[in-house]
Structure 1
Amino acid sequence: MDFMNLLRSAELLLYEVVSWLVFYPLTLLRCVLRPMSMIAYAEQELNRPPEDQFADALSPPIFLFLTLMIAHMIQSGFIHKEAIFEGVLADQRNLLVLRAVAFSLFPLLLGIQHVRLSGQDLSRKTLRPMFYAQCYVTVPFVVTLDLAIMLGSVSADWSGIALTVFGLGLCWYAVALTRGFMVHRNTSRAKAIGQAMLAISLGGASFLAILALSLLTGPMTVGG
């Protein structure tokens, strides 16, 4: 009986992982083209029974983590394969966890802002739908940021293209956040722009602070 349960668990896990090949690009495309509808979708899905949630898309935290994992694997295998960290970051798993935590600060800070603007008390229950929704909007920005880093690491000749890709991704993110505050929190354009800039600034500062603290675990050397 235990063996059959193990087989069923393996069956479900295999189907879930393989289905990501279909639903990951579909979810990414929907986030890029229709970020406002994906924000509403994430908040609405959490009101459904757990087994029925996100039936036609990836769960937002899984979507964000998969994006970071794919980018991390590409960068580790092709771009930064000679970089060797000492201390905690010597383990690639720890480095991936660090990236996940650092980039999750963006949807977390945005979620807190949306809870406050909605007039609700901040709690795990009220923060969760806001956090999930902002994960969807954050992923396209993460993709462009990682792509810019990889392009910039290839050659100095690619630095201009890398900056362009980063600029486009940042502009898309700022516009999406501004529209999100206006549409879903009914704020004025000026206030929405201010909230979006505040979120990006705080998220960026927190990201750099975590990176700086992590590097204190040991020096970085480059192999010959």
Structure 2
Amino acid sequence: MDFMNLLRSAELLLYEVVSWLVFYPLTLWRCIRRPAAMIAYAEQELTRPPEVQFAEALSPPIFLFLTLVMAHMIQGGVFHNEAVFQGVLSDQRNLLILRAVAFSLFPLLLGIQHVRLSGQVLSRQTLRPMFYAQCYVTVPFVLVLDLSLMLVSVPWAGSGIAALALFLLGLVWYAVALMRGFMIHRNISGRRAIAQTALAMLLGTLCFLATMMLSLLSGPVTFGD
């Protein structure tokens, strides 16, 4: 009986992992093309029974974490320019967890803003759908940021300019997506949406940098060739 349960668990796990090959690019394309619709999709899916949630896309936290895992593997395996920490962060698994936490600060702060603007009391129940929704919007920007950092390390004269252009394109897309999300889903004016977007990006950047600075407490850091 235990062996059969193990086989069923392996079957479910194998299908889940393989299905990511289909639903990751589909989810990414939908997030890039229609970020506002994906915000609504995430918030609506969490009102459904757990067994049928996110049947047409990846779960937002899994989507974000997979993006970070792939970027981490490509950065270290292809470009060989990953940061090498001492101490507890010398373990790549711990470093990956730190990156996941750092980048999750953006959807977390945005989720708090959306809860406040919706007039709800901040709680684990009200924050969760807002956090999930903002994960969808954050992933394309995270992907562009990582690609820009990788592009800088390419031995090509124009790599710096190309990386900067790619980063600015991603930043503009992210800002517009956040602003439209505030306007459509929280029903606020364009001026107020711009202010909320600027606040979110400023606070997210400060918290991200603070997290990175705290990581240096584990010891000195070097970079691969």
TM-score tier after normalising by the smaller chain length: over 0.9
Q: How far apart are 1:221 and its partner, in Å?
A: 3.5
Aligned to 1:56, the other structure's residue is in SS state coil
d(CA) in 2 for partners of 1:223, 1:64? 25
Structure 2 counterpart of 1:33:
33
- Spell out, residue by residue over 1:29-51, the C-alpha distance to the aligned partner (whole angstroms, 9 max, x if none): 00000001100000000011101
Deviation, 1:153, is 1.6
Give the CA RMSD over aligned residues.
1.3
2 CA distance for matches of 1:146 and 1:26? Answer: 20
| Partner residue, 2:119 | 119
How far did 1:89 drift?
1.5
Question: Does 81-90 or 54-63 show the bigger shift?
Answer: 81-90
| Distance in 1 between residues matched to 2:156 and 2:199, nearest whole Å | 32
**After superposition, where does 1:121-140 map in structure 2 within 5 Å?**
121-140=121-140
Which residue in the other structure is 2:174 paired with? Answer: 173
CA-to-aligned-CA distance 1:62-121 (integer Å, 9 cap, x gap): 000000000011111122357532112111001100100000000000000000000000
Letter aligned with residue 179 of structure 1: R
State the secondary structure of the residue aligned to 2:56: coil
**How many residues align structurally?**
224
* One-letter amino acid of the structure 1 residue matched with residue 42 of structure 2: A
| Alignment correspondent of 2:219 | 218
Q: Which TM-score applies when normalising by structure 1?
A: 0.97
Distance 1:128 1:193 in 2: 24
Matches within 5 A, 1:2-41: 2-41=2-41
Q: After TM superposition, give the deviation of residue 139 of structure 1 in Å.
A: 0.4
**Secondary structure in 1 matching 2:84:** strand
Give the TM-score normalised by structure 2: 0.96
* Partner SS, residue 54 of structure 1: coil
2-structure distance, mates of 1:221, 1:173: 30
Q: Give deviations 1:155-199, integer Å, cap 9, x for gaps.
A: 362000000000000000000000000000001100000101111
Per-residue CA shift, 1:199-224, capped at 9, x if unaligned?
Answer: 11111111111111101210124578
Structure 1 pair 128–80 and aligned structure 2 pair: CA distance change class (3 A): same
Give secondary structure in 1 for the equivalent of 2:218. coil
What SS is found at the alignment partner of 1:155? Answer: coil
Which residue does 1:101 correspond to in 2? 101
Task: Give identity over the alignment, percent.
Answer: 75
User: CA separation of 1:223/1:66 partners in 2, compared to 1, >3 Å: closer, same or farther?
Assistant: closer
